[in-house]
A and B are shown apart, each in its own frame.
Chain A
């Protein structure tokens, strides 16, 4: 009788051997070069990433890739920045002041023009529904690869907006969601006094001990671990990072007012205590109508917040080890639509911009270029996989590594990468 029944994991390993070569990563020629360059530069990897997600898709021609001589140039004028030769929107003066620390990627060109699908793609590098799986967002990947399982703080926090989760990486790498940064972590405070809470925990510990002694199941231990981490978080001083009231008012006001400003401030406080990935989102960029008024108002919000964030990080010596990313679903049409009372721009994934600061990138540069109209990419087109591979590279994550799904299917972190060599210091 064939008695060695293979369980799900060993079966997959066995089959892997017999299908050797099927999933061999297709390395582009860039990676070995880059790895050497990074090693030569002695650049330490970024410890944290702050992803600022512009929900709805920000108009590139009205923010980071102005084309004043184009057909649909719009109402904004470009201004000079602290990076020679680089100009951005006049409504981003504080960001202009820190462009010498930043990189603009103007050659983003992606295949998804529907919000949800574009967001999915931008967060995971995979297309929604591909291969019948739910893929992990970059935050979950950072949590898995860089996060400490013993840390009292969560490894992935998402503030203010809809989060992208861990997909097949499972609940351990789901983000801690903060809907209102002013309120901090939901249910973080005990409902009872400290003494009563301690008595309750004492009771619970006794019950757990007895149950484990009788039944000895792994899930009992997992339950205990989760509860211990939760209690640790409740009691940790790092959890103070979630408390915005603890920030000196003078500094807090530099970020501006409103939920986004508070989210960005909380993000800084979280990376200060070592959280590897924080995402904060700002909605309202879906400017089919009334593009200019709305983008101006949104620009003011990101200008204060990002200006303050990057300056703060620099002042605290954290900029080299913190990567800040500004991006969204896609860009917006180079032409202005004539529908409705106030003109707007529609979805446009064919050419758009994202920007990065810190994390060891070579500041004051532009990667990729669009044509006169800002309608197509004429130099260095890059997609979500290029961007995500770069983030991995900067954070010291091997993006060719494979993670396993629940059915032990190996899935590469980022498929077919071509990272930006010129962004590495």
Chain B
């Protein structure tokens, strides 16, 4: 048990202070640090608390008792507020989610669709969490496994997979690094890599946002500063902070009082003031022989004077939290830590709700509030109590642990419903009676196609047009082409156009004999080959009807390999491939 050596250490520190061996001020800060660690530990393992309490005497024991009382008070408060006081346990949280979702369905008299099949779950979880389809071998293994716990085990596997970090980095880099002509000299890769690392080591969300908002130094030393380099004006920073970390679209209020909400122009600029002292290097200078990794960001103690940092509409207003109080800030101290502290605290009602809503939308295609960054009073949530409960839990017992939240949601029946409509529920979009059919993002499409065909290795057919920034790799080019100008993919609509369809039909991607051979492998019988193709592309075995139709097709076609090529072409161009059922 961990607390024994810790307790001993504390005891000796306490004694050292009492005996006058240690400077009380130093001991105080050291004690505070230890207590903070202990507090965190207690939050994670509340069962440990009574034992720890019994171990000590004196001052230290008093502090621990205080913690214990606070925790009990929190729990009691939670019960009063109507939040069930559940521990940090994904199965328990999943049960809570289902209780709320089912309650709504019963009230609205909407029948839920049944549980999804193993193949649906496998492909869905793989794409949602790791951003790619499973391999044929993995598919076979999962489908044939008799382990009753295999779905939960798969979730653990996927959350520990480094591709999870890459998927989250794809999503968050797209949000915080806008496509803007002003960003053509700013390197995107350091930010992407940083996000990958933080998400893979599961940095708590509040810590991650704090790190972003207060980032300082060069890109090389702290890639999180890319957020500032890619949003080099006070209004861009304010807009993105509000939109992505609070789920609020604030940009209208930049120039006038927001027409549909209560945000006044002064409130906008009250928030913007927190960023008013940030000094951001000009990336263009880096390009003139400088190094794009040496440019960076720091916060001074006077108003920033960078060109175009303040738009024409800027107003000078005292720093004020959005919908909250005016904190006491001294101009000689940095403002951003003050902002970060409030932003990620329980005093900010938007922070926790925004990440819960986003995470829900990530997995279900739609959030409780839609659009997911328009979380206003005037835009009510579909499940306000559940949203509030999840937000509260995540910010307290949940420690802003995103992997925990994702696992809990994916363990729920709501997540595991099939996307096939059932009874009358076809038109239900907001009650989660059945899973929404999602469309793969360009990144997911690339990674999945690569898995099947080795697309990435084949390289691009067209040489990259050398831009002023770093040359784009095959994945980036593919993503740009398939995004077709949009900022980010919309999971709920199929939005590709003619050029994308032509590319998939007629380019090397789906017309590569090597890929056919690789997929079909050493299959001797058509049934084997066809099964292999389906397992590789659609993550399932063909139905009896499909097998009949396709074996007939093979026998009618000249050579078997030609037929397999046709079948592979068809599966890769099918909606079943590009959609997430």
Contacts and interface: CB of A to CB of B under 8 A. Distances in A.
Interface of A: 1-3, 5-8, 11, 15, 19, 22-23, 114-117, 120, 128-129, 131-132, 134, 154, 165-167, 170-172, 174, 176-177, 179, 185-192, 196, 199-200, 203-204, 206-208, 210-212, 214-220, 222-224, 226-227, 229-231, 233-234, 406-407
A217 B419 contact: yes
Interface in B534-581: 545-546, 549, 553, 557, 562, 566-567, 569-571, 573-576, 578-579, 581
A224 B575 contact: yes
Contacts of A186: 499, 502-503, 507
B439 interface: yes
Contacts of B487: 134
Contacts of B374: 8, 407
Contact of B546 (A210, A215, A217, A218): A210
A158 to B, nearest CB: 11
B282 to A, nearest CB: 13
A407 B107 contact: no
26 contacts: A5-B382, A8-B379, A15-B378, A114-B181, A128-B180, A128-B181, A132-B249, A132-B251, A174-B499, A187-B507, A191-B506, A196-B566, A200-B570, A203-B567, A215-B419, A215-B437, A217-B419, A217-B437, A223-B578, A227-B501, A227-B505, A229-B498, A229-B501, A231-B505, A234-B502, A234-B506
A46 to B, nearest CB: 24
Given A5-B382, A8-B379, A179-B462, 8 more contacts: A166-B485, A200-B566, A203-B567, A211-B574, A220-B437, A222-B495, A223-B496, A230-B501
A222 B437 contact: no
B496 to A, nearest CB: 6
List 8 tightest A-B contacts by C-beta distance, closest first: A116-B181, A165-B485, A230-B501, A217-B437, A132-B251, A223-B575, A219-B494, A191-B511
Interface string B65-87: 00000000000000000000000
A161 B184 CA distance: 17
Contacts of A6: 379-380
B566 A171 contact: no
Contact of B498 (A189, A196, A204, A226): A226
Given A186-B503, A217-B419, A220-B575, A171 B485 contact: yes
Contacts of A128: 180-181
B252 interface: yes
B499 A177 contact: yes
A385 B109 CA distance: 52
Given A192-B511, A219-B579, A207 B570 contact: yes
Interface residues of B, number: 71
A121 B446 CA distance: 33
A230 B576 CA distance: 18
Given A172-B497, A207-B571, A233-B498, A216 B421 contact: yes
A203 B566 contact: yes
Given A204-B570, A215-B420, A171 B496 contact: yes
A19 B378 CA distance: 13
Interface in B86-120: 107-108
A7 B429 contact: yes
B494 A203 contact: no
B9 to A, nearest CB: 51
**Which of A5, A23, A185, A222 has the most C-beta atoms of chain B within 10 angstroms of its own C-beta?**
A5
A211 B429 CA distance: 20
A217 B419 CA distance: 9
Interface in B361-384: 370-371, 374, 378-382
A101 B579 CA distance: 52
A211 B485 contact: no
A1 B573 contact: no
A22 B484 CA distance: 33
Contacts of B505: 187, 190-191, 227, 230-231
Nearest to B429: A7
Nearest to B311: A129
A171 B506 contact: no
Interface of B: 107-108, 179-182, 184, 236, 239, 243, 249, 251-252, 259-260, 370-371, 374, 378-382, 419-421, 426, 429-430, 437, 439, 462, 484-487, 490, 492-503, 505-507, 511, 545-546, 549, 553, 557, 562, 566-567, 569-571, 573-576, 578-579, 581
B485 A406 contact: no
A207 B576 contact: yes
A226 B497 contact: yes
A220 B426 CA distance: 14
Contacts of A196: 562, 566
A192 B503 CA distance: 14
A281 to B, nearest CB: 14
A191 B461 CA distance: 14
Given A7-B370, A190-B505, A203-B567, A171 B495 contact: yes
Contacts of A166: 485
A115 B566 CA distance: 47
Contacts of A172: 495, 497
Contacts of A199: 553, 557, 566
B498 A230 contact: yes
A226 B573 contact: no
Contact of B439 (A117, A207, A219): A219
B575 A208 contact: yes
Nearest to A206: B549
B502 A174 contact: no
A11 B420 contact: no
Contacts of A207: 570-571, 574, 576
Given A203-B570, A204-B574, A1 B107 contact: yes
A188 to B, nearest CB: 6
Contacts of B549: 206
A131 to B, nearest CB: 6
A406 B180 CA distance: 19
B426 to A, nearest CB: 6
Contacts of A216: 420-421, 426
B569 A222 contact: no
Nearest to B575: A223
Contact of A227 (B462, B484, B511, B573): B573
A210 B546 CA distance: 9
Contact of A8 (B184, B370, B426): B370
A19 B107 CA distance: 33
Contacts of B484: 165, 171, 174
Given A196-B566, A233-B498, A171 B420 contact: no
